[in-house]
Amino acid sequence: MTGRPVTNIAQALEDTAAGHKDRTAIIEAASGRSCTFGELTGYVRSYRSYLQRQGVVPGDRVVLMVKPSIDFIALTFALFRIGATIILIDPGMGYKNLLSCIEKVRPVYVIGIPAVVVLSYLFRRKFNHVKKRFCCGSFFGIPFADIRKRIRPEPGEFAPFEPDARSLAAIIFTTGSTGPPKGVRFEHSIFAAQLEKIKSYYMIGPGDIDQPGFPLFALFSTALGACAVIPDMDPTKPARVNPEKFVKSLIEYGVTYSFGSPAIWNAVSRYCLEKDIQCPRLKKVLMAGAPVSGRLIEDVYEMIAEDGEIHTPYGATESLPIVSIEGREITGSTWPLTIQGRGTCVGRPLPGISVKVIESVDGAITVMTEVVELPEFEIGEIIVKGDVVTHGYDSSDEHDRLSKIRDTSDFWHRMGDVGYFDGAGRLWFCGRKAHRVVLRDGVMYTVCCEAITNNHPGVFRSALVGVPGGDGYQRPVMVVELNPDAVTDREIICSELTQLCREHELTARIETILVHHSFPVDIRHNAKIFREKLAVWAERQLAGTRWKRCW
C-alpha cells in the first residue's frame, strides 16, 4: 500500500531506549525478574550477534516458540534487527494444526522451548526445511540465558536490517475460527503503522505500565517506551486466567494500561467485585477478540480508576486496529439497542482507515467496480482499507483471491464479517458472514439473534446455528450454555427461552433450543465461538429424532 512508513520496529525500541536506559522495560510477574531498557537492548544485540554468527540472515524464516518472557521479547526484536521473518503460531491450536502450519511456511530455523525442539525431531517431514534448531532451555543446546552473558557484539558488527515497503517481518496465524488457520504476512510497514495507531489513538507511551493478556502486545508497549508486565498466566488459555494472580500484578506494579480478551476481563472483574478490590492506577483497558457486553464493561469500570477508559477495538489478524469505541458510549447509548437485537456497535473508523458495507457476495470480488455499496442501516459485508491492513496470506493465492478487492493501485480487505453503519457514522457488527443462517424466506444473523436469548438470566452465552433443512436451506437452532450458578431447572429455562424466541421478530422462527455444557472457543481469546462445530453437534443431536423444542 502506498504511503506507508517503512521502519524496522526494532529500531523504534533502540530509539526509545536511548533516552530511558535506566527505566524498567519488562517485568515477569511469575518470577519477579526484570530488566531495564538499557539491559533489554543489550540482550537484543547479544541474541542478534549470536544468531547471525550461527548463519541466520535477512529473509530466513524462523519459527519462534518461546514462553512469554524477557527472552521472548528480546529474541523477537533481535530477529527483526537481522531481517529474518518470524513465524508465530499459537501452541494452543493443537499439535496437528501446529504441524500443518509449520509444513506450510517451511521454516529454516527453529527457536523454541525443549518440547518444541523435540517435536521438530519427531516430525522431521513437517520440519524438512529446517537447517538448525536453537533450544531456549537447559535440556540440550546452548541455554539462551548464557548467551546474554557470553556474547558481546563487536563494534559495528552486523548493521541493522533496513526494510523496504515489502520486507516481510513476520507470519502470524489466524485463530482458525472459520476454517483452518491461515498465515498472514506482516511487512515491517504494517507493524510500524500499528505502532503509530496505538501511540496516537490510545495515547500509549513512556510512563505507562502495560500488562498485556496477549504476549505480542508487549512488543508494542516496549517499542513505545512503556514498561510491560508479563502476567502470570497461560496465554493459550485466557479464560482460565487466575484472577488473583492477574490482579495482584496489576496492583503491585501500578499497571496503567492493559489489553486482554473479554474472557480475561470477565474473570478478573468478577473477582474484583466479589472481593471489593480496586485497581486505582489502571487508567485504560482494551478488550478485543469477540463482542463485549455492556454488563462486562460496567463491571470493569467498577474496578479501575474513576476516570479510567475502556476501549473495544475491532479488527482481525489481517487488520488491527481499524474501528474503536469507548465504553461509556456503549453503556450510555448503544448497549440498550444491542440487547434488542440490533448488533454490537464497534465504533467509528480510526484516522486513515476507510470502511464500507457492501452487498454480500459468497465468491470472489475482483475489482471495486463489481461492488454494490449499501446505505445506512442495511446489513452487508464489511470491507476495509488502510495502512494497518495486511497485503495477503502466505503461499495462498486462493485465500488472497477471496479476501482482497483491487482498487486502482490499492486494495480493500474483506473482513468476513457482516454489519451496517448507523446514522452517526458508527459501524455495527452482526456476526461472521460464514455463520449466517440462510432460510427460504430470509437470513438470520448470529449476533443479533443471540442477543435475545442472552437476555435470559440463566444463559451464559448463546450460539445460533443452521442445520440442513432438507429443502436446500437451513433450519435455525439456538444452542445455549447455561450459567454455572443458574438456580432454575434446565427444562424450565428451555421452556422460557422457547417462549422468549417466539415473542421476538428476530427469533420467532427458532423452534429448537439445545443446551451444550461448554462451547468450543478459539485458542487466542477463548471468546470466539466455533459455531461450525456446534452446528455439527446440533445436527447429530437431532439426527433420527423428531424436531424438539428443547434438549
In terms of domains, do 162 and 191 share one? yes
Has residue 307 been placed in a domain? no
Distance CA 251, CA 256 (A): 9
Residue 223 C-alpha from the chain's centroid: 19
Has residue 313 been placed in a domain? no
Residue finishing a domain among 405, 432, 459: 432
pLDDT value of residue 546: 46
Q: Tell me, what DSSP letter sits at residue 470?
A: S
Distance CA 321, CA 273 (A): 30
Q: Tell me, what DSSP letter sits at residue 238?
A: G
Q: Which are the contacts of 196, defined by CB distance < 8 A and separation ≥ 6?
A: 5
Q: Write out pLDDT tens, residues 48-66.
A: 999 999 999 999 999 999 9
In terms of domains, do 339 and 200 share one? no
Kindly report the CATH number assigned to the domain that includes residue 43: 3.40.50.12780
Sequence-distant contacts of 368-373: CB under 8 A, at least 24 apart: 368/405, 368/406, 368/407, 368/412, 370/405, 371/405
Kindly report the CATH number assigned to the domain that includes residue 337: 2.30.38.10
Q: For the stretch 242-263, what's the b/e string if a residue is b when 16 or more beta carbons lie within 10 angstroms of its beta carbon?
A: ebeebbebbeebebbbbbbbbb
In terms of domains, do 207 and 100 share one? yes
Has residue 495 been placed in a domain? yes
pLDDT value of residue 551: 47
Half-sphere exposure of 538 (CA within 13 A, CB side): 30
* Cβ atoms 63, 87 nearer than 8 A: yes
Q: Write out pLDDT tens, residues 513-528.
A: 999 999 999 877 778 8
Residue finishing a domain among 236, 266, 296: 236
Residue finishing a domain among 212, 236, 260: 236
pLDDT value of residue 4: 47
In terms of domains, do 131 and 204 share one? yes
Distance CA 345, CA 330 (A): 7
In terms of domains, do 395 and 501 share one? no
Has residue 138 been placed in a domain? yes
Q: Write out pLDDT tens, residues 271-302.
A: 999 999 999 999 999 999 889 999 999 999 99
* Cβ atoms 126, 147 nearer than 8 A: no
Distance CA 327, CA 319 (A): 22
In terms of domains, do 459 and 401 share one? no
pLDDT value of residue 142: 62
State the residue for C-alpha cell 461472521.
Answer: 432
State the residue for C-alpha cell 540440550.
Answer: 140
Q: For the stretch 465-475, what's the b/e string if a residue is b when 16 or more beta carbons lie within 10 angstroms of its beta carbon?
A: bbbeeeeeebb
pLDDT value of residue 303: 98
In terms of domains, do 157 and 80 share one? yes
Kindly report the CATH number assigned to the domain that includes residue 484: 3.30.300.30
Has residue 35 been placed in a domain? yes
Distance CA 382, CA 313 (A): 15
In terms of domains, do 87 and 199 share one? yes
In terms of domains, do 31 and 75 share one? yes
Could you tell me the three cell numbers for 238? 485466557
Q: From first to last of the 551 residues of the chain, give the pLDDT tens digit.
A: 444 455 898 999 999 999 899 999 999 999 999 999 999 999 999 999 999 999 999 999 999 999 999 999 999 999 999 999 999 988 777 788 889 999 999 999 999 988 899 999 999 999 999 999 998 875 555 667 778 777 877 776 667 899 988 899 999 998 776 678 899 999 999 999 999 999 999 999 999 999 999 888 999 999 999 999 999 999 888 989 999 999 999 999 999 999 999 999 999 999 999 999 999 999 999 999 889 999 999 999 999 999 999 999 999 999 999 999 999 999 999 999 999 999 999 999 999 999 999 999 999 999 999 999 999 999 999 999 999 999 999 987 999 999 999 998 899 999 999 999 999 999 999 999 999 999 999 999 999 999 999 999 999 999 999 999 878 899 999 999 999 887 778 899 999 999 999 999 999 999 999 999 999 998 777 788 999 999 999 999 998 554 444 44
Number of structural domains (the chain) is 3
Question: Would you give the end-to-end CA distance of the chain in angstroms?
Answer: 51
In terms of domains, do 470 and 372 share one? no
Has residue 210 been placed in a domain? yes
Has residue 196 been placed in a domain? yes
Amino acid, single-letter form, for residue 463: A
In terms of domains, do 57 and 122 share one? yes
Range of the domain at 508: 436-542
pLDDT value of residue 72: 94
Cα radius of gyration (the chain): 24
In terms of domains, do 163 and 205 share one? yes
Has residue 455 been placed in a domain? yes
Distance CA 539, CA 271 (A): 37
Distance CA 477, CA 539 (A): 9
Concatenated DSSP letters of 295-350: HHHHHHHHHB-TT-EEE--EEETTEEEEEE-BHHHIIIIIHHHIIIII-EEEEEEP
Distance CA 388, CA 320 (A): 6
- 3 state DSSP class of 261: coil
Nearest to 126 by CA among 151, 101, 162: 101
Nearest to 395 by CA among 168, 150, 66: 168
- Our separate counts of H helices and E strands in the chain read 17, 26
pLDDT value of residue 486: 75
Tally Cβ neighbours within 10 Å of residue 94: 12
